[in-house]
Amino acid sequence: MHEHCMMIVQDHWDTIVRAYLDFEEKKPIILLDIQKHKIYAYPYQDFKEDLPALSQKMLEKQYREAIKKRQIVIFVLDSKERVFISCNFAIDDNKA
């Protein structure tokens, strides 16, 4: 993962976990929007449907793996740098 994005996830870890846990029963996808300084929790299916077909297939695999391992799928959007990447983090970690 891009080092800058990793640091941003770490800086917002507590808020990311709270957002995830608020909707945990729905196993949401978390979107961290750097420019807007916002964290969103999206239903998996809704988020997936907004992606191109190839990205949907990649997300399906990533999401299944995350659920098995009790992980959060986090997408980081940095419009300024034109970066949109995803990663999984264990929910039980104290930090990313």
Note the pLDDT of residue 46: 95
Q: How many residues are recorded in the chain?
A: 96
DSSP state, 96? Answer: -
Strand partners, 22: none
Structure confidence at residue 1 as a pLDDT band (50, 70, 90):
low
pLDDT per residue over 24-70, tens digit each?
Answer: 999 999 999 999 999 999 999 999 999 999 999 999 999 999 999 99
Whether 95 is in a domain gets the answer no
What's the domain count of the chain? Answer: 1
In the predicted model, what is the mean pLDDT of the chain?
89
Q: 15 and 39 in contact (C-beta within 8 Å)?
A: yes
Whether 37 is in a domain gets the answer yes
Note the pLDDT of residue 95: 47
Whether 38 is in a domain gets the answer yes
Whether 39 is in a domain gets the answer yes
Query: Measuring CA to CA, which residue among 93, 58, 75, 94 is closest to residue 8?
Result: 75
Whether 96 is in a domain gets the answer no
Whether 56 is in a domain gets the answer yes
Q: Which domain holds residue 29?
A: 3-90
